[in-house]
Amino acid sequence: MTGSATRTRSRATVAAVFACASGAAHAAGVDAGSATIAVLALLLAVVLTMLHRARLRASDLGAQASEMQDLLTRARSEHDEAAAEYEAERSDLAARLEQAAQREAAHQVALRAAQNDTLTKLPTRIRMLEDITRELASARRRQTRMAVLFVDLDDFKRINDTLGHAAGDELVRQAGERLTACVRSDDALSYAHEPAGQDVARVGGDEFVLLLRDTGESAGLSSVATRLLEAFRKPFAIGGFKVQSSISIGIACFPRDGDSAETLLNHADMAMYRAKEAGKDGFEFFSPAMTAAATRRMLVENGLRKAVERGEFVLHYQPKVAPRSHRVLGAEALLRWNSPEHGLVSPETFIGIAEDTGLIAPIGEWAMVEACRQMRSWLDMRLHPMQVAVNVSSAQFRDDNVLTAVVRAIKESGLPPHLLQLEVTENLFMKNMATARNSLSYVRGLGVTVALDDFGTGFSSLGYLRQLPIDALKIDRSFVHHLGTKAEDREIVVAILTLARALGMKTIAEGVSTIAQHDVLSQMACDEMQGYLFAPPVDATTMTQILRIGSITPGSLDNLALPKPTRPGELYIPNESGRDDAQFDSKSTMVAPLGMSTI
């Protein structure tokens, strides 16, 4: 219905109401005007009521609309919050998934790194142990034999230090390739079935392990090891240099030498070290005696570490005398380990282990400082000045340990540098001529003198001797021992004395123990003598008494109750091989046997 029709209808309705009201008023005899007013009042009331109701309805509708608006606002807010929460959860889940993926990727990288060497691309120790374990199970099942070969590059540290780490890495890489080529090409290394894993692994800096399956008797393994040795006698081409690096091999066999991967690997490692001790460029089979030697070595090493901490080392001094006047010209400081369990232990027992473990640095520095301190003490007592000689191992020249020790010893003691002498062996120069020459030149620049110990027993080259900063040659006791009985030893000593004079060097004969030796050396005009004929190594207190006397003739110190010379057979120091070789050293005083008891 349109608005016009509605208005027309409303007017008609009002007109009808007025007509009805007029009729009713006429019938009742009421004035029409009054009736009309009444009707209008009524209509007004009705309209007002309707308007009121309309306002109420409008108010309700507004409230409802406002409530609906609030509901919509809350709903929208809740929706936005839910959406934001969902997005945050989705992002967090995505981040966790990404982190999990990264961890897994890192784990795979670490796993590959743990199982595969990045330099040589060969398996690592972890993977080789897994392969050995798997092959052991197969060997037990099939009742066959297998062997583990532990291979170590000889003199790798010298090459690495001389040519640099890059050259060392290249040597290791080529060594891995050469071993792999040997395994793949040599019929003796082949096997009837396809391998489950690699046969060559790098297990250390310059250490490799070979796994051989279905091996026969030891003779066959010896043939394999010999061919490997021959392969490494060919030089490596590294950085424009021809580098020679032989190998030492240790062999352990299943089931004879062990029934687990770790045991076989450890036993092969022990055998490899025995091959190195035997002169390198060779191989050794594991034997049970090596376990005892390794245990003994471990006990000595542990004892040495405690000795360094507790200060258990002492110095003994063996005088050097003039051949004719017998005046004391100097003394050699000789290291002893005063073990609480074993008494005085000769250095031959522990120096090699100290060098291998790096303990030689603190031990050697202590000996240097103590010798200079004691010499300074003798000077302060106004005893006749003499030169004290300290033995220095080639291992002490690594990382400038010797230079540090010399400077510290002179500075702390206040000893005049010319009263200190370093005794070195030819082995030092064979390992690194340039470094050794530079270090000793620096030492001599301080005023310290240098003596070449055990001359004639190593690689004695006139060419290198002329280049070296050497002040004195010590004639080895092996030539002095038969000086009065063997003509060839006499000629060698004459040659050494003539050479020393030509080069302007002093000569010191060590190991002099008989009058005959003394007389011959005196006739040859040897500068100094040292040995049991005059005095054994003695402690600082006894050496003080000797210095007060000032000179020593054979037998003149009998009233001092000095230690008697040790005859061969009396001094028992078990060596690394477990054999009962008696060792005799004229530098040694009485020392206790070092057995297998806990150190």
Give tens-digit pLDDT for 523-550: 999 999 999 999 999 999 999 999 999 9
Asked if residue 211 lies in contact with residue 131, where contact means CB atoms within 8 angstroms, the answer is yes
Mean pLDDT of 79-97: 87
Domains identified in the chain and CATH numbers: 125-286 (3.30.70.270), 294-560 (3.20.20.450)
- Of 100 and 321, the structure prediction assigns the larger pLDDT to 321
Half-sphere exposure of 368 (CA within 13 A, CB side): 28
Phi-psi region of 464 (alpha: psi -120 to 50; beta: other; left: phi over 0): alpha
What 3-state class would DSSP assign to 541? helix
Asked if residue 211 lies in contact with residue 146, where contact means CB atoms within 8 angstroms, the answer is yes
Highest mean predicted confidence (pLDDT) among 100-109, 160-169, 182-191, 384-393: 384-393
The most distant pair of C-alpha atoms in the chain lies apart, rounded to whole Å, by: 186
- Of 296 and 275, the structure prediction assigns the larger pLDDT to 275
User: Whole-angstrom Cα distance, residue 266 to residue 310?
Assistant: 31
Instruction: Say whether pLDDT at 105 is over 70.
Output: yes
Instruction: Say whether pLDDT at 444 is over 90.
Output: yes
- Of 43 and 515, the structure prediction assigns the larger pLDDT to 515
Band of pLDDT at residue 214, cut at 50, 70 and 90? confident
Highest mean predicted confidence (pLDDT) among 20-34, 186-200, 326-340, 347-361: 326-340
What 3-state class would DSSP assign to 290? helix
Quick one: CA dihedral 204, 206, 207, 213, positive or negative? positive
Between β-strands 420-425 and 449-455, what pairing exists: parallel, antiparallel or unpaired? parallel
Mean pLDDT of 191-220: 74
Nearest in space to 348 (alpha carbons), one of 23, 586, 24? 586
Band of pLDDT at residue 282, cut at 50, 70 and 90? very high
In the predicted model, what is the mean pLDDT of the chain?
82
Nearest in space to 583 (alpha carbons), one of 570, 564, 597? 570
Q: What percent of the chain has pLDDT over 70?
A: 81
Asked if residue 332 lies in contact with residue 391, where contact means CB atoms within 8 angstroms, the answer is yes
What 3-state class would DSSP assign to 161? helix
User: Whole-angstrom Cα distance, residue 261 to residue 263?
Assistant: 6
**Rounded alpha-carbon distances, angstroms, from residue 499 to 149, 363, 409, 460, 477:** 47, 34, 32, 12, 18
What local confidence, expressed as pLDDT, does residue 213 receive?
86
Tokens of 563: 């230690």
User: Whole-angstrom Cα distance, residue 433 to residue 419?
Assistant: 26
User: Whole-angstrom Cα distance, residue 513 to residue 535?
Assistant: 9
Nearest in space to 231 (alpha carbons), one of 168, 178, 281, 187? 178
Band of pLDDT at residue 584, cut at 50, 70 and 90? very low
CA angle 74, 79, 83 (to 5 degrees): 150
Lowest mean pLDDT segment, chosen from 108-122, 220-234, 316-330: 108-122
Instruction: Say whether pLDDT at 460 is over 60.
Output: no
**Rounded alpha-carbon distances, angstroms, from residue 166 to 14, 290, 431, 563:** 117, 35, 19, 53
Asked if residue 172 lies in contact with residue 207, where contact means CB atoms within 8 angstroms, the answer is no
Edge-to-edge strand ranges of the sheet holding 207-213: 200-202, 207-213, 146-153, 247-254, 283-285
User: Whole-angstrom Cα distance, residue 584 to residue 214?
Assistant: 46
Asked if residue 308 lies in contact with residue 274, where contact means CB atoms within 8 angstroms, the answer is no
What local confidence, expressed as pLDDT, does residue 60 receive?
79
pTM value is 0.62
Instruction: Say whether pLDDT at 91 is over 90.
Output: no
Band of pLDDT at residue 564, cut at 50, 70 and 90? low
CA 472 to chain CA centroid, Å, is 37
Tokens of 239: 């950085």
Q: Which H/E stretch holds residue 469?
A: none
Tokens of 300: 């000595």
Instruction: Say whether pLDDT at 279 is over 50.
Output: yes
Asked if residue 331 lies in contact with residue 319, where contact means CB atoms within 8 angstroms, the answer is yes
What local confidence, expressed as pLDDT, does residue 284 receive?
95
Q: Which H/E stretch holds residue 366?
A: helix 360-380
Band of pLDDT at residue 372, cut at 50, 70 and 90? very high
What local confidence, expressed as pLDDT, does residue 249 receive?
96
Instruction: Say whether pLDDT at 591 is over 70.
Output: no
What local confidence, expressed as pLDDT, does residue 28 receive?
61
Nearest in space to 39 (alpha carbons), one of 11, 17, 65? 17
Interacting residues of 81 by C-beta distance below 8 A, sequence separation 6+: none
- Give tens-digit pLDDT for 57-79: 877 787 888 888 888 888 888 88
Q: Which H/E stretch holds residue 347?
A: helix 347-357
CA dihedral of 449, 454, 459, 462, whole degrees rounded to 10: 50
Band of pLDDT at residue 485, cut at 50, 70 and 90? confident
Output DSSP code: residue 566. P
> How is 495-507 classified by DSSP, letter by letter?
HHHHHHHHTT-EE
Partners of residue 343 on adjacent β-strands? 339
- Give tens-digit pLDDT for 464-484: 677 788 999 999 888 898 887
DSSP H helical ranges for 414-514:
426-431, 433-445, 462-467, 477-481, 487-502
Instruction: Say whether pLDDT at 589 is over 70.
Output: no
Hey, what long-range contacts does 476-482 have (CB within 8 A, 24 or more apart)?
Answer: 476/510, 476/511, 477/510, 477/511, 477/531, 477/586, 478/511, 480/509, 480/510, 480/511, 480/512, 480/517, 480/521, 480/531, 481/511, 481/513, 481/517
Residue 392: CB atoms within 10 A of its CB come to: 26
What 3-state class would DSSP assign to 432? coil
- Give tens-digit pLDDT for 310-363: 999 999 999 999 999 999 999 999 999 998 888 888 888 899 889 888 899 999
